[in-house]
Amino acid sequence: MSKMQLLHPLEHEDAEAVIIGGMVLDIHASPSIAANPGTTTPGKVYYVQGGVARNVAECMAKLGAKPYMISALGFDMAGNLLLEKWKSFGLSIEGILKDKDIDTPVVCNIFDVNGEVAAGVASVEAIEKYLTPDWISRFKSTLLSAPVLMVDANLSPPSLEASCRLAADAECPVWFEPVSVAKSRRISSIAEYVTFASPNEAELIAMADALLGSDEFRPLKGYDKKNNLSPASLFQLLKPAICLLLEKGIKVVLVTLGSSGVLLCSKGGPSSIQIPVDKTRRRGFGGELYRNVMKRFPPNSFLEHGRSSHFFALHLPAVPASVVRLTGAGDCLVGGTLTSICAGLDIIQSVSVGIAVAKATVEVAANVPSAFSLATIVDDAKCIYSSAKVLFHQSML
């Protein structure tokens, strides 16, 4: 238990989300003049804290939560940086395995003058090697009080399975973040345990294929004009894959569409996937968020007609943003949604907040903004919530 937590015994009694996955240092180098290939060019080098699980947890921390991070770091330069920053956020480091043999996960990218990756190397095998079922199982008791567990697909398949089984024993819902097309296929061994999954379109297709053991869904990727499609048309195209995920046991599929928003698809109404009140966190920012959202956009009528066992699909749009950099937006969408779920909001309210948090993220260069404005987030989230459209519910069949 860190000192900071000892100073706030009341807050520590709040149940907190558990986040298992990668803490990664992104080293970004950008030349200041056009480079000749094969040479070293003058420019700038930036150190950016990354890793999907780390970004999600940092976002939650910036929203006032105190997520419990389970990860692995070395004692090298990158590990020291990530750990010191983690402590500075006031978060527990108990769950972070530190070992001198670990090469801290690092992604080194050199960009060209247009901002595209010219060359890049990812050294992230430590996550699979050291974040083992054995290490994760040490935190069984932490999961008992957790409102939700998030795993990112950087974990090895055995570690994903171990995490999910522990969560099932603790009756803790699991959020699966697919990380990349290649790693998203790791859903195949854990779909039955997963409550929430947040793929983009390409990850959705790969997950469906992995679950079916086929490549049936591949042709969908060929639609190169999909950016011009309406959310409703896109949903029709993606519906077979989404249905397969729901059939395989995932309760809520959130397909992220970038600037087109999010498709929220489920087999139950929004209230069927709410966190038990005794596990919610209504103190601090979480409490303020809960009270503000309940006042500005209480759970409403969207799916009155939907029964808890019925399939429904909702499109939540994004709000216009002054984009500085897109990195981190997807992770902050998850962080904002998880924070809201943990505060006791329903899934539609929560995703609305998540999209508002993602919007605030693309407006800064960092993966996670240094601070969020509750008022702006609630305003944007209300706007998103009010513009949500039901694309499908069972009675339309």
Q: How far is the CB of 110 from a second copy (least distance, A)?
A: 4
Nearest approach, Cβ of 118 to a second copy (angstroms)?
5
Burial class (CB in 10 A: 0-12, 13-18, 19+), 321: middle
Closer of 123 and 387 to a second copy (Cβ): 123
Determine how many CB atoms are found less than 10 A away from the CB of residue 375.
9
Closer residue to a second copy, CB minimum distance, 111 or 217: 111
Nearest-approach distance from CB 28 to a second copy, in angstroms: 9
Q: ∠ CA 199-201-202 to the nearest 5 degrees?
A: 90
Question: Which residue lies nearer to a second copy by CB, 48 or 388?
Answer: 48
Rank residues 83 and 242 by Cβ distance to a second copy and give the closer one.
Answer: 83
For a second copy, the closer of residues 39 and 228 by Cβ is 39
Question: CA torsion sign, 203 to 208 to 213 to 215?
Answer: negative
Least distance in angstroms from the C-beta of 177 to a second copy: 18
Q: Measured from the CB of residue 46, what is the shortest distance to a second copy in angstroms?
A: 9
Q: Closest approach of Cβ 47 to a second copy, in Å?
A: 6
Q: Whole-number minimum distance, CB 131 to a second copy, in Å?
A: 17
Cβ neighbours, 10 Å, residue 202:
14
CB contact at 8 A, 29 and 164 = no
Closest CA to 82 of 111, 53, 109, 62: 53
Which tokens go with 276? 């038990």
Q: How many CB atoms lie within 10 A of CB 302?
A: 18
Question: Of the candidates 158, 197, 157, 201, which has an alpha carbon nearest to the alpha carbon of residue 178?
Answer: 197
Q: CB 125 → a second copy: shortest distance, Å?
A: 7
Residues in the site for a second copy, rule: CB under 8 A?
A: 27, 29-31, 35, 37-45, 47, 76-78, 80-81, 103, 106-110, 116-125
Place of tokens 């094969």: 38
Angstrom distance (rounded) from CA 201 to CA 258: 10
Report the phi/psi class of residue 141: left, alpha or beta, with left for phi > 0 and alpha for psi in -120 to 50: alpha
* Closer of 80 and 137 to a second copy (Cβ): 80
Return the structure tokens found at 277.
């009140």
- For the chain, the maximum distance between any two Cα atoms, rounded to a whole number of angstroms, is 63
Residue 35 or residue 160: which is nearer to a second copy going by CB?
35
Nearer to a second copy, 37 or 320 (CB): 37
| Measured distance CA(235)–CA(9) in Å, rounded | 46
